[in-house]
């Protein structure tokens, strides 16, 4: 993380001529990329919440019905476990529904969930096309492509992240690895995988939505039932991506967050000096 | 660090342009521009305000579209249901139905399986299986025929009049589960040929008067089916399941088997088929599900 531009800006502000009063900014994200990036937030939230309500109607992970409760749903077991073990939840009225009451639209609402899921799914596909158009128009897709050196660079980044808290603890300087690319190898891997996951979610979604008209699509994923399992686990990719993504954006600071809103960054040093992270 | 003389925009533009990418796939250095701080500030403010407005709009949109039950769970107790919301969500269902209709091909056969691939089939009568008493007096009534007559046929008459076809196909439930099952029955198409509907008919209403609701009370089950789907060669009026005559659980003595539609269109214990020019009502469409249900 380098903030050398701030020194540069200060230097600028001391300049006298109004014509010379310039801040150097680097274009980072095309307008369409920024729009589709933020639209993904409500759309994916809608897809996940309605998706788990749909999951409720026929859970993928089931076991033999419990002789006492008749419960067969693993997600209900997790809810029961949470209510037994998390302080303050002992008196929760419907422990088997805890998961569905908290991370879905709710249990027993398949019809509403399906309607919302189709709506969000069509929006997700349209939004994906907007994203691809933005990547093409802005040329940003080149920054996402994997490189031969990515394995080695990713290790350097891992070393940095693992060492970072310890370095902070002993108040030692811990330098961010330097790259003269827009993203580091870990970012590239993440930003490349998520659109791939998006395509796979759409493909598995169609495979289970139209198994009779598109049986070849389900066959690619190992059949109708396997495509449902794929579709479920692909959801976790977004969840596992979003958590560190948000943490790291806040850790990296306002310039990075702002660049996804306004499109440019004031970290516009020549590439030789760029060594940032987000 | 950039030294002072490089800060002239033309020089910067030049320095960027000089770096020709080695190949088409290679990452290119970012485009840089010099901007007055006031302008930069103004643009930032504009975009951040727009972003905030978008976030508020997304929240409002979410509140508008979420089901009332979910909103109550989020402690919004005001009734947010509106005709606009229904219209919008139904529009999305209709678009999905139109896309599915475009995917549908009359001549495409659904995959068939071997006996070793058969899986157990849930009955989904949910504990309210009809009393088998209806079977002895059972008749299939046909209405909306070209002859103008209403016809009743008993099961012996049906099975002797039409040849039976076997198929092992997948039945897919709207809930997400599916089962590969072995069926035999007469082709719906053959029934239509033998008892032609009125010439302008485009739809069939398939109903079961013996259906019960969850508490065991009579609950008429009715479903719309377009005639093109009814005529599909794999659409059967099934009489046998796993090589045996249908049991009450599976809709004895005659059930619809339409593998290109979701399970909820596969009416059990059919008592009446009515042909019509207008799209008939549909039990599950009236309960918030799609009316197309083509898979």
Does A157 or B116 have the greater pLDDT score?
Answer: B116
Do the domain assignments include residue A157?
yes
How many angstroms separate the CA of residue A126 from the nearest CA in chain B?
13
Does A30 or B79 have the greater pLDDT score?
Answer: A30
pLDDT at B127: 62
Do the domain assignments include residue A17?
no
Whole-number mean pLDDT of chain B? 88
Phi/psi region, residue B288 (left: phi>0; alpha: psi -120 to 50; beta: rest), is left
Share of chain B above pLDDT 70, in %: 92
Which A-chain residues 125-184 have CB contacts (< 8 A) with chain B? 139, 142-143, 145, 181-182
**pLDDT (mean) for B73-83:** 82
On whether any CB of chain A is under 8 Å from the CB of B125, the answer is: no
Percent helix, strand, coil in chain B (nearest 5)? 35, 20, 45
CA dist., res. B171 & res. A84, Å (int): 39
On whether any CB of chain A is under 8 Å from the CB of B177, the answer is: yes
pLDDT at A269: 64
CA nearest to A37, candidates A189, A200, A250, A262: A262
Would you call A116 and B37 a contact, using CB atoms and an 8 Å cutoff? no
Do the domain assignments include residue A246?
yes
Please return the burial class of A267, using the count of CB atoms within 10 Å of its CB with bins 0-12, 13-18 and 19+: buried
| pLDDT tens string A215-263 | 999 999 999 999 999 999 999 999 999 999 999 999 888 989 999 999 9
Q: How many domains does chain B have?
A: 2
Which of A24, A46, A110 comes nearest B32 by C-beta? A24
Which residue does chain B place closest to A26, by CA atoms? Answer: B32
How many angstroms separate the CA of residue B151 from the nearest CA in chain A?
33
Would you call A105 and B67 a contact, using CB atoms and an 8 Å cutoff? yes
Which of A45, A224, A261 comes nearest B178 by C-beta? A224
Q: Tell me the residue range of the domain where A202 lies.
A: 4-10+23-273
B71 lies in the same domain as B124: no
pLDDT at A159: 87
Q: Mutation test of the interface with chain A: which of B26, B70, B99, choosing the one with the most A Cβ atoms within 10 A?
A: B70
* Largest Cα span, chain A: 83
Q: Tell me the residue range of the domain where B182 lies.
A: 107-287
B183 lies in the same domain as B258: yes
On whether any CB of chain B is under 8 Å from the CB of A65, the answer is: no
pLDDT at B19: 52
Do the domain assignments include residue B87?
no
Do the domain assignments include residue B13?
no
Q: What is the pTM of this model?
A: 0.87
B256 lies in the same domain as B137: yes
Do the domain assignments include residue B292?
no
| pLDDT tens string A52-87 | 999 999 999 999 988 888 889 999 999 999 998 998
How many residue contacts between A and B have a Cβ separation below 8 Å?
171
* A-chain residues near B104 (CB < 8 A): 213
Which of B1, B28, B70 comes nearest A8 by C-beta? B1
pLDDT at A273: 43
The CATH number given to whatever domain includes residue B171 is 3.90.420.10
Would you call A262 and B43 a contact, using CB atoms and an 8 Å cutoff? yes
B123 lies in the same domain as B234: yes
B158 lies in the same domain as B269: yes
B111 lies in the same domain as B72: no
Which residue does chain A place closest to B110, by CA atoms? Answer: A212
Q: How many domains does chain A have?
A: 1
Which of A109, A210, A270 comes nearest B100 by C-beta? A210
On whether any CB of chain A is under 8 Å from the CB of B43, the answer is: yes
Do the domain assignments include residue B95?
no
pLDDT at B17: 46
Residue A20 binned pLDDT confidence (cut-offs 50, 70, 90): low
pLDDT at A276: 46
| Relative orientation angle of helices A224-252 and A254-262, to the nearest 10 degrees | 120
On whether any CB of chain A is under 8 Å from the CB of B234, the answer is: no
B53 lies in the same domain as B151: no
On whether any CB of chain A is under 8 Å from the CB of B70, the answer is: yes
Q: How far is CA A119 from CA A38, A122, A143, B96, B281, in A?
A: 17, 5, 31, 9, 23
Do the domain assignments include residue A57?
yes
pLDDT at A236: 96
CA dist., res. A222 & res. B6, Å (int): 59
The residue from B45, B80, B115 where one domain ends is B80
Would you call A270 and B25 a contact, using CB atoms and an 8 Å cutoff? no
Residue A168 binned pLDDT confidence (cut-offs 50, 70, 90): confident
Do the domain assignments include residue A140?
yes
Whole-number mean pLDDT of chain A? 86
CA dist., res. B8 & res. B20, Å (int): 21
Strands B32-35 and A23-27: antiparallel
B123 lies in the same domain as B249: yes
Do the domain assignments include residue A15?
no
B151 lies in the same domain as B195: yes
B238 lies in the same domain as B129: yes
Do the domain assignments include residue B136?
yes
* B-chain residues near A269 (CB < 8 A): 1-2
Do the domain assignments include residue B4?
no
How many angstroms separate the CA of residue B278 from the nearest CA in chain A?
24
DSSP secondary structure letter of residue B7: G
DSSP secondary structure letter of residue B184: E
CA dist., res. B213 & res. B126, Å (int): 9
Do the domain assignments include residue A18?
no
On whether any CB of chain A is under 8 Å from the CB of B294, the answer is: yes
| pLDDT tens string A92-151 | 888 899 999 999 999 999 999 999 999 999 999 999 999 999 999 988 888 888 888 888
Would you call A262 and B48 a contact, using CB atoms and an 8 Å cutoff? yes
* A-chain residues near B34 (CB < 8 A): 22-25
pLDDT over 50 (residue A277)? no
pLDDT at A12: 43
Helices (H), chain B: 9-18, 37-65, 68-73, 83-103, 155-161, 188-194, 227-230
B199 lies in the same domain as B63: no
The CATH number given to whatever domain includes residue A136 is 1.20.950.20
Q: Mutation test of the interface with chain B: which of A99, A179, A212, A256, choosing the one with the most B Cβ atoms within 10 A?
A: A212
B75 lies in the same domain as B114: no
| pLDDT tens string B237-284 | 999 999 999 999 999 899 999 999 999 999 999 999 999 999 999 999
What DSSP string runs through B228-279?
A: HHHTSTT-EEEEEETTEEPPGGGTTT-EEE-TTB-GGGS-SS--EEEEESSP
pLDDT at B150: 95
On whether any CB of chain A is under 8 Å from the CB of B80, the answer is: no
Which of A209, A225, A269 comes nearest B2 by C-beta? A269
How many angstroms separate the CA of residue B173 from the nearest CA in chain A?
9
Residue B160 binned pLDDT confidence (cut-offs 50, 70, 90): very high
How many C-alpha atoms does A139 have within 13 Å on its Cβ side?
12
């Amino acid at each position: 993380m380098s903030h050398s531009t701030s020194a540069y800006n200060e230097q600028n502000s001391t300049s006298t001529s109004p014509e010379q009063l310039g801040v150097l900014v680097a274009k980072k994200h095309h307008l369409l990329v920024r729009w589709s990036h933020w639209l993904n937030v409500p759309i994916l939230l809608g897809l996940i919440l309605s998706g788990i309500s749909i999951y409720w109607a026929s859970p993928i992970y089931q076991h033999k019905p419990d002789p006492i409760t008749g419960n067969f749903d693993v997600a209900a077991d997790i809810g029961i476990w949470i209510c037994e073990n998390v302080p303050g939840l002992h008196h929760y009225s419907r422990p088997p529904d805890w998961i569905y009451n908290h991370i879905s639209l709710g249990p027993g609402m398949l019809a509403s969930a399906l309607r919302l899921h189709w709506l969000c799914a069509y929006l997700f596909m349209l939004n994906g096309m907007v994203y691809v158009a933005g990547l093409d128009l802005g040329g940003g897709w080149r920054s996402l492509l994997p490189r031969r050196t990515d394995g080695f660079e990713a290790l350097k980044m891992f070393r940095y992240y693992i060492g970072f808290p310890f370095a902070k603890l002993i108040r030692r300087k811990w330098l961010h690895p330097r790259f003269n690319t827009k993203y580091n190898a870990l970012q590239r891997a993440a930003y490349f995988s998520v659109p791939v996951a998006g395509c796979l979610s759409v493909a598995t979604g169609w495979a289970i939505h139209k198994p009779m008209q598109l049986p070849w699509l389900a066959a690619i994923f190992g059949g109708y039932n396997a495509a449902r399992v794929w579709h479920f686990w692909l959801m976790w990719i977004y969840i596992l991506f979003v958590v560190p993504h948000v943490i790291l954006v806040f850790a990296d600071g306002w310039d990075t967050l702002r660049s996804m809103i306004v499109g440019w960054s004031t970290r516009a040093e020549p590439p030789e000096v760029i060594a940032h992270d987000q | 660090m950039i030294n002072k003389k490089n800060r002239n925009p033309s020089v910067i533009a030049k320095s960027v342009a000089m770096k020709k990418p080695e190949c088409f796939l290679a990452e290119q250095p970012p485009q840089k521009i010099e901007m007055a701080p006031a302008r930069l500030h103004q643009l930032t403010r504009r975009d951040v305000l727009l972003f905030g407005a978008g976030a508020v709009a997304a929240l409002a949109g979410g509140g508008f579209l979420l089901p009332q039950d979910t909103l109550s769970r989020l402690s919004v107790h005001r009734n947010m249901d509106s005709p606009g919301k229904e219209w919008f969500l139904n529009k999305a269902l209709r678009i999905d139905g139109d896309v599915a209709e475009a995917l549908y091909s009359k001549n495409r056969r659904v995959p068939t399986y071997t006996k070793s691939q058969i899986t157990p089939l849930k009955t989904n009568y949910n504990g309210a299986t009809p009393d088998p008493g209806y079977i002895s007096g059972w008749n299939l009534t046909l209405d909306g025929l070209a002859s103008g007559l209403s016809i009743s046929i008993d099961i012996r008459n049906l099975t002797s009049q039409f040849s039976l076809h076997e198929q092992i196909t997948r039945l897919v439930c709207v809930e997400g589960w599916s089962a590969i099952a072995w069926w035999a029955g007469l082709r719906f198409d053959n029934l239509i040929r033998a008892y032609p509907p009125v010439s302008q008919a485009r739809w069939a209403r398939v109903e079961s008067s013996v259906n019960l609701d969850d508490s065991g009370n009579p609950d008429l089950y009715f479903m719309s089916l377009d005639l093109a789907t009814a005529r599909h060669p794999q659409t059967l009026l099934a009489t046998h399941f796993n090589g045996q005559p249908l049991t009450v659980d599976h809709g004895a003595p005659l059930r619809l088997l339409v593998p290109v539609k979701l399970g909820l269109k596969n009416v059990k214990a059919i008592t009446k088929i009515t042909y019509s020019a207008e799209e008939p009502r549909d039990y599950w469409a009236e309960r918030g599900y799609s009316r197309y249900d083509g898979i």
